[in-house]
Chain A
Amino acid sequence: MTHWIIAPAILPALTAALLIMVWRRDIRMQRIVSITATLALLGIAALLYHLASDGEPRVYRVGAWPAPFGIVLVLDRLSATMLLLAAALALAVLVYAVAGWDARGRHFHALFQFQLLGLNGAFLTGDIFNLFVFFEVMLIASYGLMLHGGGARRLGAGFQYVAINLVASTLFLIAIGLIYGVTGTLNMADLAVKVPQVAAGNEALLRTGALLLFLVFAIKAAFVPLHWWLPGTYSAASAPVAALFAIMTKVGAYAIIRIFGTIFGADAGALAGVAVPWILPAALATLLVGAIGLLASRTLLDLASFNIIASMGTLLIAIGLFDVDGLTTALYYLVHSTLTGAALFLIVDLIATRRVEKGAALVPGHPISQAPLLGALFFLTALAAVGLPPLSGFIGKLMVLDAAYESPQASLIWLFVLGASLMMTIAFARAGSVVFWKTEGRTTGPTLATAPTSPVVVVAMLVGAIALLSIFAGPAVDAFQAAAEQALDPAGYIDAVLNSAGNVMPSTGH
């Protein structure tokens, strides 16, 4: 049993506590400690990714309690991929925020680390109630981060965001109660064993619990019609926070893959694939609403927010296929859309700070400084978001179309994906031409000499990461395929958690 598995949860927790207690007023030390800790987290995530790449799920039994009595953390390819993605995104966002955003409110760095604690815990845990707790940790930190910077609009959007998530948490608890009441366990591996054995009389209760759980993840993943909270929240949040939130919707997608692949997967008897029929129709609607929202955007922030919804739609179509090809595509698109969504929010912020009078509004204004550089970055990110060659969005969408080829709904999926791509192309082309070409007067905003360079470098690196994901699409897809195969075959997971040699009560020494 390697203790490194719990490090992604412990490191941010200790860092956050230290930041609050020791360096509460010293923003410089906060920055140094926070970036160092996130760098270390990235290192640990890379190590864990390397560990998981041999295809054997590793289990960490907290307090050495055997499963299913104690809480377990499980590291497999899927969770390792998510950890690595979260750590990489966090580091980029943090470096961006250090250029100034973090000083516009208090405790940015502590909240940021708590957010990482919640994210990492949610990716690692093998227990449904523990998943709930880590969701709450993640959400509490996100409430604080969302309000970072203050202002009436953030408070209003924040109230809605907190209220909808409280309702989701309530549903989560009801689902947990139903599942525990019927099966008597909350450990995911144990549930995967017990769910097929449930008596016929209790099946309806368990089905209700499973679908309520799906509803909760659907709210997090911004499935239409449960997406209303997203545009208001993301466009009101400060830019680095919105960029970090790009991975929050993916937590919902991850939870759907984990729960409905492991517990309610193909071996779940009467409840096999209980949520699958709901995913595809909702995903198609999500893609359509996202594309329409992009066309109707009045500000660049709307554009970035609805891009998240549209990309979730494409991602969920791939998940909705729920086979190895579908999940491989979903993982590739997940990494791509997280990087693209985050990059877009940061570029929009760079543009808005340079358009002193018009801000993020999509109306003609003065030309901005550094327009060629920012224009190129915006153009590349838009290419990736829309799915035009040569960047990863194109490869991702091609994989979606290819994976859907055998599906009975293939024609419908092709129609929606290609139609939405056209709408998104128009929306991004319009936005780019208004901001960069329909300009008059003299250049405004910070010049190259006065503007901090690190934010631009961060955005360029994110775009670079998207380019790398496109160039090395082959090896990446191989890795994602292995992760998808592992996620859809719960036998190895169950064996590792319940049947391995380490799963015994430790001797008490009496």
Chain B
Amino acid sequence: MELLVASAVGMMTTVGVYLILQQRTFPIIVGLTLLSYAVNVFLFSAGRLVVDRPPIISDADAYTDPLPQALVLTAIVISFGMTALIVVLALRGFLETENDTADLPAEDLAPETEADK
């Protein structure tokens, strides 16, 4: 099980980092998503890998640490919201400039006209 979880975290991180280094926005977003999956699984393992134990102190003699589960839940909510935001951003950027590279549009030294505002 340790091997499985560790290799899953490693694989997802590797693929995520590779995708983030791409030029276009879509692979970057997929890469960021994969990274957030990897970090969620990693956080979960910070409370040690325990099978079949309740996350509360009860009559049973052993329990699993509940805190990483709460951390993961918070991290999932935040990364979900962020992913939604960055998808919208990428889409708006694509619709306005008609290309989906992550580079800044060519620098426009002219002042912002009233029409831009």
Q: Do A and B come from one complex?
A: yes
Whether B20 and A360, one on each chain, are in contact in the complex, defined by CB atoms closer than 8 angstroms, is no
Q: Nearest-CB distance from B76 to chain A (Å)?
A: 11
A341 proximal to B (CB < 8 A)? no
User: In the bound complex, how far is the Cα of B111 from the Cα of A447, in angstroms?
Assistant: 18
Contact flag A104-B35 (CB < 8 Å), given A159-B89, A177-B46, A356-B111: no
Say which residue of B35, B89, B103, B107 sits within 8 Å of A155 (CB atoms). B89
Residues of B close to A298: CB separation below 8 A: 107, 109
Q: Nearest-CB distance from B94 to chain A (Å)?
A: 9
Whether A152 and B111, one on each chain, are in contact in the complex, defined by CB atoms closer than 8 angstroms, is no
Q: Nearest-CB distance from A257 to chain B (Å)?
A: 25
User: In the bound complex, how far is the Cα of B112 from the Cα of A178, in angstroms?
Assistant: 47
User: In the bound complex, how far is the Cα of B46 from the Cα of A178, in angstroms?
Assistant: 7
Size of the B side of the interface (Cβ < 8 Å), in residues, is 43
B10 proximal to A (CB < 8 A)? no
Whether A155 and B39, one on each chain, are in contact in the complex, defined by CB atoms closer than 8 angstroms, is no
Chain A's closest residue to B104 (CB) is A156
Chain A's closest residue to B112 (CB) is A359
A461 proximal to B (CB < 8 A)? no
In the complex, which residues 18-59 of chain B have their Cβ closer than 8 Å to any Cβ of chain A? 20, 25, 28, 32, 35-36, 38-39, 42-43, 45-48
Whether A359 and B110, one on each chain, are in contact in the complex, defined by CB atoms closer than 8 angstroms, is yes
B74 proximal to A (CB < 8 A)? yes
Chain B's closest residue to A135 (CB) is B78
A180 proximal to B (CB < 8 A)? yes
Say which residue of A157, A236, A359 sits within 8 Å of B111 (CB atoms). A359
Whether A163 and B20, one on each chain, are in contact in the complex, defined by CB atoms closer than 8 angstroms, is yes
Residues of B close to A158: CB separation below 8 A: 89, 93
User: In the bound complex, how far is the Cα of B45 from the Cα of A181, in angstroms?
Assistant: 8
Whether B102 and A152, one on each chain, are in contact in the complex, defined by CB atoms closer than 8 angstroms, is no
Stretch touching chain B among A9-17, A168-176, A388-396, A473-481: A168-176
B61 proximal to A (CB < 8 A)? no
Residues of A close to B46: CB separation below 8 A: 176-178, 180-181
B116 proximal to A (CB < 8 A)? yes
Whether A152 and B43, one on each chain, are in contact in the complex, defined by CB atoms closer than 8 angstroms, is no
Whether B111 and A357, one on each chain, are in contact in the complex, defined by CB atoms closer than 8 angstroms, is yes
The CB with the most chain B CB atoms within 10 A, among A159, A178, A180, is that of A159
Contact flag A358-B75 (CB < 8 Å), given A156-B104, A156-B105, A166-B32: no
Q: What 1/0 flags go to B52-80 for Cβ under 8 Å of A?
A: 00000000000000011001001100110
> 15 other contacts beyond A159-B90, A174-B39, with CB at 8 A cut-off?
A140-B85, A143-B89, A155-B89, A166-B82, A170-B38, A173-B75, A174-B42, A180-B46, A180-B68, A181-B45, A181-B46, A186-B67, A232-B104, A359-B112, A363-B109
Q: Which residues of A does B touch, CB under 8 Å?
A: 104, 129, 133, 136, 140, 143, 147, 149, 151-153, 155-160, 162-163, 166-167, 169-170, 173-174, 176-178, 180-181, 186, 232, 236, 298-299, 352, 355-361, 363
Q: Which residues of B does A touch, CB under 8 Å?
A: 20, 25, 28, 32, 35-36, 38-39, 42-43, 45-48, 67-68, 71, 74-75, 78-79, 81-82, 85-86, 89-90, 92-93, 96-97, 102-105, 107-112, 116-117
10 nearest CB pairs, A to B: A359-B111, A181-B46, A177-B46, A155-B93, A361-B109, A177-B43, A152-B96, A173-B39, A156-B104, A170-B35
Q: Could you give 25 example pairs across A and B, Cβ below 8 Å?
A: A129-B74, A140-B85, A149-B117, A151-B96, A152-B96, A152-B97, A152-B105, A153-B104, A159-B102, A163-B102, A166-B35, A166-B86, A167-B32, A169-B78, A176-B71, A177-B43, A177-B45, A180-B47, A181-B48, A232-B104, A298-B109, A352-B111, A359-B109, A361-B109, A361-B110
